Structure 1
Amino acid sequence: MPAGSEDPENRALSPFVLLHGGRHGGWCWKRTAARLRSAGHAVYTPTLTGLGERSHLLSPAIGLDTHIQDLVGVFGYEDVDDAVLVAHSYGGMVACGAMERVADRVRALVLVDGYLPRAGESMMDLVDPATAEYTMDLAARDGEGWFLPPTDAAVWGVTDPADNAWVNGKTTAHPLKTYRDPVGPTDRAWAHPGVFIECLVPAAIRVPTARPRERAAVDRRFRYWTLEAPHDAMITAPHALAEKLRAASRLDPR
């Protein structure tokens, strides 16, 4: 074997950092994380400020930078290195912002139906105008103008009655400011090896896919994969998603 090369079968398994999307928490990765751990990976499932078990901290002051700092802190305090950073939905905004500070510790960035912003864009800039208007109206009507209330899990494609009840019992309100704040630099996210996984089963929530498709067509280190699952694939198809994530961990990052 040439000097400096690495046998992917012999290297230590990369840890995973699994980042949830809006109104979710680290809890949503429970099933997928269990499968990754059973395969020998270390797995971290942080919850962003104001959500999940941290919902008691919800306030109008929580913005995108707060959530970026949450994610950066996981890498620093848990000594995470050579990780596969996986971001779902809104979590893509957070992960792309955080990459400016943690890219050296990330083996691959994986977006699961996640947003892929350029510097200066907010999530509201990336959704279609009708969705942006609906989101603002919802916050004004049912969120005191500054938060988004929980919604039925069927919106994310969770239709099994037991799963739907479980998710509905755990989703929380989400601070609107995080959707409206522009992200800072994202150059390192765009320059990094990565994967976009599109969830193909129709759901009310659909993220823009044109940008990652175009990037995959010209960037040999960025792949575009698909998964036969709805938006909340970590809940409805944990085994299939875990297999995709493990495949991402084995990609050559060079």
Structure 2
Amino acid sequence: MATFILVHGSWHGGWSFDLLAARLAAAGHSVDAPTLPGMGGSEEELRAVTLDGWTDFIVARCRAARERGQGPVVLAGHSRGGIVITAAAERDPEAMDALVYICAHMLPSGLSRADFAAQSPRNAAFAAIVSPTPGGAGTVVDPEGAHAVFAQLSPPEVTESAAARLLAEPNAPRDTPVFTTPERWGKLPRTYVECTEDRVIPIADQRRQQALSPGARVVTLEADHSPFFSRPDELAAALISAIP
């Protein structure tokens, strides 16, 4: 038995992991899939969000899981959630036992998500469905275009419901560099679940990040950017295989 702490990606919430969480629970594991504070908030609330604040929030969830004593704590992040789990692991590596990056940003020390995007080929299809919030504190996604970019291999009835629940995403975490050290973040076992059909973080970008931060065990899924919708059984198996 293990406890999985699942950190969602941009514009999503903890609800995005419902299918995955059900499978992990059916296998006897505990799951905590919170929605990060400030998601979908007002301009003032979005502007108040920081990567440090999110890091504190997730570290607290990991510590609470550790105190409950429900087996090893596996911290997993999807997409932008990767920067959150990296920061959390650097903050308190004793609060967790393993990390899993689900087609996620696994950035080298000193780089931000925005920096990495600036160094990558422009993703026109993705950029076309993202726009700023009215006050500029965050971004939103056009729900009409979400399926084709985020989840083209996923069941349409699932992604239609998910698109209606997408939230405004704060800007600050994206612009904040993540710093790591070998003796903290670097000491934890890592698994990278790469998704070959991803249209948000293309497979070339996923593999470039793996090369920039070597040492992760790699699991390859023929999946879109939403493997929790398109390949929930395979994703659950990948997470379970990451239990140390």
Task: Determine whether 1:69 maps to 2:60.
Answer: no
Q: Structure 1's 199 and 112: CA in aligned 2 closer, same or farther, altered over 3 A?
A: same
- The corresponding residue for 1:19 is 7
- 1:126 pairs with one of 116, 128, 137: 116
8 A contact 2:98–2:190 mirrored in 1: yes
- The corresponding residue for 1:245 is 239
Write out aligned runs for 1:63-212 (5 A): 63-78=50-65, 79=67, 82-127=72-117, 128=120, 130=122, 139-140=131-132, 142-152=133-143, 153-154=146-147, 155-158=149-152, 160-187=155-182, 188-206=184-202, 207-212=205-210
CA distance in 2, matches of 1:25, 1:231: 15
8 A contact 2:79–2:103 mirrored in 1: yes
- The corresponding residue for 1:39 is 27
Residues 149-192 of structure 1, C-alpha deviations (whole Å, 9 max, x = no match) = 13332221245321121111211010111111222445422332
SS across alignment from 2:97: strand
Residues 128-149 of structure 1, C-alpha deviations (whole Å, 9 max, x = no match) = 26359x86x9555x54322111
CA distance in 1, matches of 2:89, 2:134: 31
- 2:217 pairs with one of 223, 230, 240: 223
Q: Structure 1's 33 and 148: CA in aligned 2 closer, same or farther, altered over 3 A?
A: same
Residues 81-130 of structure 1, C-alpha deviations (whole Å, 9 max, x = no match) = 62111111100101101112331132211101111123322111112263
- Structure 1 residue ranges without an equivalent (≥5): 1-12
Tell me the percent identity. 30
RMSD of Structure 2 on Structure 1 (CA) = 2.6
Q: How far 1:232 sits from its partner (Å)? A: 0.8
Q: How far 1:213 sits from its partner (Å)? A: 4.1
Q: Structure 1's 138 and 235: CA in aligned 2 closer, same or farther, altered over 3 A?
A: closer
8 A contact 1:75–1:102 mirrored in 2: no
Write out aligned runs for 1:45-56 (5 A): 45-51=33-39, 55=41
8 A contact 2:6–2:32 mirrored in 1: yes
8 A contact 1:15–1:80 mirrored in 2: no
CA distance in 2, matches of 1:80, 1:125: 38
8 A contact 1:139–1:145 mirrored in 2: no
CA distance in 2, matches of 1:210, 1:230: 18
TM-score (normalised: structure 1): 0.80
Q: How far 1:201 sits from its partner (Å)? A: 1.9
CA distance in 2, matches of 1:98, 1:42: 20
Q: How far 1:211 sits from its partner (Å)? A: 2.9
Amino acid at match of 1:130: R
CA distance in 2, matches of 1:116, 1:70: 19
Q: How far 1:204 sits from its partner (Å)? A: 3.9
- State how many pairs are aligned: 230
